[in-house]
Structure 1
Amino acid sequence: MAKSSNQKLKLLYLMKMLLEKTDEENTMTINEMITELGRYDITAERKSIYDDLEALRSYGLDITARKSKTTDYFIASRVFELPELKLLVDAVQCSKFVTHKKSNELIKKIESLASSHQALSLHRQVYVSNRVKTINESIYYNVDRLHAAIAENKQVSFKYFDYDIKKEKVYRKSGNRYTVSPYGLSWDDENYYLVTFSNKYNDFTHYRVDRMSDIELCESSREPLPENELFNIAEYSKKVFNIFGGEEVTVKLQFDNSLVNAVVDRFGKEIMIGKLDDDCFYIWIKVAVSSTFFAWLSQFGAKVKILSPDAVIEKYKSNIHDILAQYE
């Protein structure tokens, strides 16, 4: 009875072995397929295998035959090619917001999209770098819930916490829940942030997703944006500089010509650039003035200068002075 039942699955097992065991560098003959099917207690004749291969081709599997001393068969193309899978593995491995445990689980699933031989080259990449990862395992599911709330136009409630020096959670608002209207998720500086809007404050704010817990979708709909207000998550992320807020101000900045790439990377190709002289250019940009904005400027040393407004110049000077004061 068991053998007869397996016999009905012959086509599925044949597809499984071709996907798992073959690629352009690794092939199977008809005799090898018959032997492999025998491991599943399935008997097959050569003619039936030929018919099955044609059925799988009709189904959409790209099965190619290569003739030499024998006729070898392999899967010639897949939904994802090997370079694409390597890119996905790298993205998962480099993602700070995905924990080590979840990274390994995702990479295993990505490996299953390749042949077992190709999967070895993907598996080796897991150990390429030892990056800092989030320690909040639930972020993977938090992101999914938040996407669902945005799609369904619902408010969400959650608890929000920080870590103390013992790396233990300390909940804000004494553990009371936040209720917000989610309008976007931004992946910035290797962290996920939820961007929300409040009618009470008539402004957007943001929360680190890995610092959120006990997320629930509410029955109530999101607070609507003001009339004619258009929300652009990319523009919002640019203004707040790595999602650290501050007073929004239009600033004129001077840069050495060698920093054009850095400016375009930060603000996009649409940024208007003006020539100051043969060595420098300037831009006008609306940013949230904060310590993070100043830190971004500081990395360029004397190759960047704030030209206006005076209030921002004074804040930057004060920021530098406070840092220097620690070493006096």
Structure 2
Amino acid sequence: MLTEKANILCILDILKEYSDQDHILSVSDILKKLQAIYGVDVDRRTIYRNIDALIEFGYDISKYSENKEGYFLREREFETSEIHMLCDAVISADCISKTLGRALIRKLQNLGSRHQTKAFSHLETVKTEKHAPNPQLFYNIDLLDEAMSLGRKVEFDYYIYDLDLKQKSKREKKYSVSPYSMYWSMGRYYLISGLDQYDNLTHFRLDRIRNLTVTGDPVKPAPEGFQPYEYAAKAPFMFGGEVENYTICCDRAILQDVIDRFGDKIFIAGSDEDTFTAVVKATTGGMRLWAIHYMETCRVLTPQWLVDDVKKAIKKGTARYK
């Protein structure tokens, strides 16, 4: 049995779930819902008093004196469009299992009124799986947050698929890394970290990490000036390596792709009716893969090592089709 002190919370929940600017609740509506949902009987003065208390506490509630109809929660933590976008992000995240994804979408929908989120309630059934999910994903995120906060290394098994389409650990010995940041890229969630034996940063997909533990060993310091988002923007396909400058000549048709990948701070060195020349900054591994991916519409001019590397890759790829 709810006590009188719970009335204010019941009224707030009703306003959150059932009211918005297009669905204004009268005092009678609120009284009926209190009885139907919570089995609570109160008088009209209790409604007025508790709504005034909620407003005083900081909730933006429109009153009858303003709209001449009733009461509704005017401002929420998220706009409807923001909730919709977050739901779409969950759907597109292959690393989130169908079960967890649908639960997340339901939680996101609860951020708006049931009327506001009704238009995209079907999204919950859209979430599917391409492969067996990792049930430890969210637990790993919590542990990595803890490790980064404490400045401690982590150890884990890293799982990959074999030809029998079963997942197995990539190696017998656990990986021991210094975690620096987690970053979302191309529908995947990555751990950006450092291995003691290498100077370059390394990336691990969180959905492939299993049996993660936080150790007592302090992390190896991150590279000087390391900024996760700036670094990830320079790592196409999340392939690492040293960050270098590259000069590329591209068809104008892929200008938007180049900006999407490298940002709008690239240097355009020249252009004509059909092409443009740009200087971009990227990791060695990422740039190599990007250049091969766009070889029909882009040519690397410098550095020479990448020009030679792409030529070898094209020659090797062509030989496979002979």
1:200 partnered with 2:194: no
Structure 2 Cα separation of the partners of residues 93 and 36 of structure 1: 33
- The match for 1:22 is 19
User: 1:98-177 alignment to 2 at 5 Å?
Assistant: 98-127=96-125, 132=130, 135-174=133-172, 176-177=173-174
Give how far 1:128 is off. Answer: 5.5
2:232 to 234, 237, 243: 237
Counterpart residue number, 2:275: 280
Match of 2:81 among 67, 77, 83: 83
1:187-236 deviation per Cα after TM superposition (whole angstroms, max 9, x unaligned): 2222122222234333322222211111111111112246xx22132343
Indicate the residue corresponding to 1:318 in structure 2. Answer: 312
- Structure 1 vs Structure 2: percent identity of aligned residues? 28
Counterpart of 1:24 in 2: which secondary structure? Answer: coil
Q: Give 4+ residue runs of structure 1 displaced > 6 Å after superposition.
A: none
Residues in 1 aligned to 2:62 and 2:20: alpha-carbon distance in whole angstroms: 10
TM-score of the aligned structures, taking structure 2 as reference length: 0.87
Equivalent AA in structure 1 for residue 114 of structure 2 = S
Distance 1:172 1:129 in 2: 28
Identify unmatched segments of 5+ residues in structure 2. Answer: none
Residues 263-296 of structure 1: CA deviation (Å, up to 9, x unaligned): 2211112222201545433233454445x64553
2:273 matches 1:305: no
**Superposition pairs for residues 86-97 of structure 1, below 5 Å?**
86-97=84-95
- For residue 267 of structure 2, give the secondary structure of its aligned residue in structure 1: coil
Contact 1:134/1:210 (CA < 8 Å) preserved in 2? no
Evaluate the alpha carbon distance shift between residue 126 and residue 111 of structure 1 in structure 2; reply closer, same or farther with a 3 A threshold. Answer: same
Contact 1:159–1:214 (8 Å) recurs in 2:
yes
Q: Distance in 1 between matches of 2:243 and 2:114?
A: 53
> Are 2:181 and 2:192, in contact at CA under 8 Å, matched by a contact in 1?
yes
The answer on whether the counterparts of 2:291 and 2:310 sit within 8 Å (CA) in structure 1 is no
Larger radius of gyration: 1
- For 1:8 and 1:251, the matched residues in 2 are separated by 66
Mark the CA change 1:247 to 1:80 in structure 2 (over 3 Å): closer, same or farther. Answer: closer
C-alpha distance in 1, partners of 2:305/2:284? 10
Q: Does 1:217 align with 2:214?
A: yes
Whether contact under 8 Å (2:269, 2:277) holds in the other structure is yes
Question: In structure 1, what residue type is equivalent to 2:181?
Answer: G
Which residue type is aligned with residue 70 of structure 2? D
The answer on whether the counterparts of 1:62 and 1:76 sit within 8 Å (CA) in structure 2 is: yes
CA RMSD of aligned residues (A): 2.9
Cα distance change on mapping 1:275 and 1:18 into 2, 3 Å: same
Task: Determine the C-alpha separation between the residues in 2 that align with 1:301 and 1:173.
Answer: 34
Alpha carbons 1:199, 1:225 under 8 Å: kept? no
Q: Give the total of aligned pairs.
A: 321
Amino acid at match of 1:154: R
- CA–CA separation in structure 1 for the residues paired with 2:56 and 2:229: 44
Change in 2 beyond 3 A, CA 1:135/1:166: farther
Are residues 1:258 and 2:272 paired?
no
Aligned equivalents of 1:107, 1:311: Cα separation in 2: 47
Pick from 49, 52, 60: which aligns with 2:50? 52
| 1:133 shift after superposition | 6.6
